[in-house]
Amino acid sequence: MAGADGDDSLYPIAVLIDELRNEDVQLRLNSIKKLSTIALALGVERTRTELLPFLTDTIYDEDEVLLALAEQLGNFTMLVGGPEYVHCLLPPLESLATVEETVVRDKAVESLRKISQEHSPVDLEVHFEPLVKRLASGDWFTSRTSACGLFSVCYPRVSSTVKAEIRQHFRTLCSDDTPMVRRAAASKLGEFAKVLELDYVKSDIISLFTALASDEQDSVRLLAVEACVSIATLLPQEDLETLVMPTLRQAAEDKSWRVRYMVADKFSELQKAVGPEITKNDLVPAFQNLLKDCEAEVRAAAANKVKEFCENLPEDNREQIIMTHILPCVKELVSDTNQHVKSALASVIMGLSTILGKDNTIEHLLPLFLAQLKDECPEVRLNIISNLDCVNEVIGIRQLSQSLLPAIVELAEDAKWRVRLAIIEYMPLLAGQLGVEFFDEKLNTLCMAWLIDHVYAIREAATCNLMKLVEKFGAEWAQNTIVPKVLGMANDPNYLHRMTTLFCINALSEACGQEITTKQMLPVVLKMSNDQVANVRFNVAKSLQKIGPVLDNVPLNSNQRPVFTRCSFNLHTVFNYPSTNNKTATTHTLLQDIY
């Protein structure tokens, strides 16, 4: 089927087709990725009669090639002649859906789901549904797991007899004897329930759900928990209690921590799905148990949900539930033995203050915040600090500032640079909430100290932090507090500190405005152009380029011109710096202004 029939325009295509058979995987892969080009050149007819059969035969290839093939075929409808002929794509995708490698299979299923939508209802019954059936009754587990993902896409559009068959197949797979297939079925249970008629949800799905939720393998049971969310959403409130709750209660107390973890992880979704009444009666005690679970994993997952859970409690007695049932557990978690649990809690606990209001926050939550601010684990402290804004709205940050400061200082000097980095990122936020005065008094020194940190990432973040602070507090503040210190570093014996001055200028010039830039920064930059370290000189050039736009139209005096010329020379010849860059262009304009 090589396309070399004398027509020169087909030659590249012939090459691609030959490469589909090449020994080198990379070449085959490249060719497969251009499959649509090949198909386009061949035309719909030959794509159907020649290319697809050929591809169906090459299924025994490397997984990488198969993956690319599976993906391509999902977009092939127009290339085989439109929806009328889309069923031609089924044979190759069917074989791909039975391949061992999970990613290939998943991609094939994804493509099959995609093209199923392009089938007419008749074609769906004549071509697609038989394929699903074949997969569902395949010998090896791979084809059966693939089938699980296909039921829900064809179910809504087929006749009622076929629907009954599909339900039967799904039932069979839910009790398959390999756990792999049961897992696949369980993971699609929710999706399948959504397309079923309500009566069948009650009669079929519920029994399958109950069976899967009490499977002998915990990996199956935990997937049933996921399905529980969708199923509960579908059922009318009055049926939930009898049909879903017994299973859910059992899952929340499952002997495997993985299942309990899943319940904790899906708690907010479950809560929304079952509604306020059941939440009050059932989920609150279940949640308490999860918060007190013996496995740290489960406690942490539950702790993560504390805020969301409380938020979604019915408003009429939300406060009472939180105060009497949830808060006592939360208090215990603050001093949990596991740091992951504490840090999960710390990331959401501040959110409770908006729900509980000012008085409760001061009386009950504040002590917890303070305790966590003093926690031995930096992550816990960071999580508290990063969420300060929630508390600020309710009680004002002043309440915390006494304990906040030592915590910040300690994090700012932490031995681990990532911790320091994290706290720097919260500085602008903190500064905004604590106000200029407090900042100048307590935090300014820290911010300046970071500029001479021995880790570059910290110095870089500190520079960026200064810029944000200037944006917050204004140019005048910058001129008085920051700029003198930054410029002072230009005379530091350590060249890295001198470079930091340049980086700061790069970041600050725009925020500080033309006047400060021209009068204070520019002279320093120009003076540094004579630095003995080449790297500094190079960065002077880059700085000039950066601050160029700010300086625009400012007349330069005669002392300054030569520096620009020299720097421009540096940039273009010595360092081969790309002159196509926009900002360099600005420097160019500047230079033209000079001459």
Partner 1 sequence: METTKLPPSSPSSPTTGFTVPSAEKVDGFPRRSMRRARQRRSHSSSQFRYQSSQVELTPLPLLKDAPVAELHDLFCKKLQQCCMLFDFLDCVADLKGKEIKRAALNELVESVATSRGVLIEPLYPEAIKMISVNIFRTLPPSENPEFDPEEDEPTLEASWPHLQLVYEFFLRFLESPDFQPSMAKRYVDQKFVLQLLELFDSEDPREREYLKTILHRVYGKLLGLRAYIRKQINNIFLRFIYETEHFNGVAELLEILGSIINGFALPLKAEHKQFLVRVLIPLHTAKSLSIFHAQLAYCVVQFMEKDATVTEYIIRGLLKYWPKTCTQKEVMFLGEIEEILDVIEPSQFIRVQEPLFKQIAACISSPHFQVAERALYFWNNEYILSLIEENCQVILPLVFATLYRVSKEHWNQTIVSLIYNVLKTFMEMNSKLFDDLTASYKVEKQK
Q: Which stretch binds partner 1 (CB under 8 A): 232-240, 241-249, 343-351, 491-499?
A: 343-351
User: In the set 261, 369, 438, 538, which binds partner 1 (CB under 8 A)?
Assistant: 261
Residue number with CB closer to partner 1 (89 or 298): 298
| 98 near partner 1, judged by CB under 8 A | no
Residue number with CB closer to partner 1 (219 or 444): 219
Binding to partner 1 in span 158-197, by CB under 8 A? 178-180, 183-184, 187
Q: For residue 147, give both structure tokens.
A: 């089938």
Cβ of residue 311: shortest distance to partner 1, in angstroms? 16
Cβ of residue 324: shortest distance to partner 1, in angstroms? 24
Residue number with CB closer to partner 1 (179 or 275): 179
CA-based nearest residue to 563, from 593, 535, 527, 521:
527
Cβ of residue 303: shortest distance to partner 1, in angstroms? 9
Residue number with CB closer to partner 1 (419 or 446): 419
Rounded to whole angstroms, the Cα distance separating 468 from 472 reads 6
* DSSP letter (8 states) at residue 129: H
Binding to partner 1 in span 47-66, by CB under 8 A? 62
- Please report where in the chains the tokens 């509604």 appear, as a residue: 275
- Please report where in the chains the tokens 């839910």 appear, as a residue: 174
Size of the residue set binding partner 1 (CB under 8 A): 47
List helix spans (H) across 361-494: 366-373, 378-386, 388-395, 398-412, 417-438, 444-450, 456-473, 475-477, 483-488
Got the DSSP string for 145-195? HHHHTTHHHHGGGS-HHHHHHHHHHHHHHHT-SSHHHHHHHHHHHHHHHHH
Got the DSSP string for 505-534? HHHHHHHHHHHHIIIIIHHHHHHHTT-SSH
Q: Which stretch binds partner 1 (CB under 8 A): 205-213, 338-346, 427-435, 533-541?
A: 338-346
User: In the set 419, 489, 512, 550, which binds partner 1 (CB under 8 A)?
Assistant: 419
**x/- map, 454-483, partner 1, by CB under 8 A:** ------------------------------
Cβ of residue 120: shortest distance to partner 1, in angstroms? 32
Cβ of residue 4: shortest distance to partner 1, in angstroms? 25
| 219 near partner 1, judged by CB under 8 A | yes
User: In the set 218, 389, 410, 440, which binds partner 1 (CB under 8 A)?
Assistant: 218
**Cα angle 337, 340, 343; round to 5:** 100
Q: Which stretch binds partner 1 (CB under 8 A): 159-167, 221-229, 425-433, 443-451?
A: 221-229
Residue 375 region by backbone torsions, left for phi larger than 0, else alpha for psi between -120 and 50, else beta: beta
**x/- map, 376-395, partner 1, by CB under 8 A:** -xxx--xx------------
Q: Which helix (H) or strand (E) holds 565?
A: helix 560-569
Cβ of residue 580: shortest distance to partner 1, in angstroms? 35
Residue number with CB closer to partner 1 (233 or 386): 386
**x/- map, 104-143, partner 1, by CB under 8 A:** ------------------------------------xx--
Q: Which helix (H) or strand (E) holds 278?
A: helix 267-278
Q: Which helix (H) or strand (E) holds 97?
A: none
CB 463 within 8 A of CB 451: yes
Residue number with CB closer to partner 1 (227 or 563): 227
Cβ of residue 12: shortest distance to partner 1, in angstroms? 26
| 424 near partner 1, judged by CB under 8 A | no
Rounded to whole angstroms, the Cα distance separating 402 from 260 reads 39
CB 431 within 8 A of CB 469: yes
Cβ of residue 32: shortest distance to partner 1, in angstroms? 18
Rounded to whole angstroms, the Cα distance separating 73 from 71 reads 6
Residue number with CB closer to partner 1 (243 or 348): 348
Rounded to whole angstroms, the Cα distance separating 117 from 539 reads 58
Alpha carbon 463 to its chain's center: 27
| 226 near partner 1, judged by CB under 8 A | yes
445-451's contacts with Cβ under 8 Å and 24+ in sequence apart are 446/408, 446/409, 446/412, 448/482, 448/485, 449/412, 450/412, 450/420, 450/424, 451/486, 451/489, 451/497, 451/500, 451/504
CA-based nearest residue to 188, from 202, 203, 169:
169
Residue number with CB closer to partner 1 (54 or 417): 417
Cβ of residue 391: shortest distance to partner 1, in angstroms? 17
Cβ of residue 347: shortest distance to partner 1, in angstroms? 4
Cβ of residue 305: shortest distance to partner 1, in angstroms? 11
Residue number with CB closer to partner 1 (366 or 377): 377
CB 147 within 8 A of CB 132: yes
Rounded to whole angstroms, the Cα distance separating 385 from 408 reads 8
User: In the set 79, 135, 196, 223, which binds partner 1 (CB under 8 A)?
Assistant: 223
User: In the set 199, 236, 294, 454, which binds partner 1 (CB under 8 A)?
Assistant: 294
Judged by DSSP in three states, 349 sits in helix
| 257 near partner 1, judged by CB under 8 A | yes
| 231 near partner 1, judged by CB under 8 A | no
**Cα angle 529, 531, 536; round to 5:** 80
| 249 near partner 1, judged by CB under 8 A | no
Residue number with CB closer to partner 1 (180 or 390): 180
Cβ of residue 294: shortest distance to partner 1, in angstroms? 5
Would you tell me which residues interact with partner 1 (CB under 8 A)? 62, 100-102, 140-141, 178-180, 183-184, 187, 216, 218-219, 222-223, 226, 255-258, 261-262, 294-297, 300-301, 304, 339-340, 343-344, 347-348, 377-379, 382-383, 414, 416-419
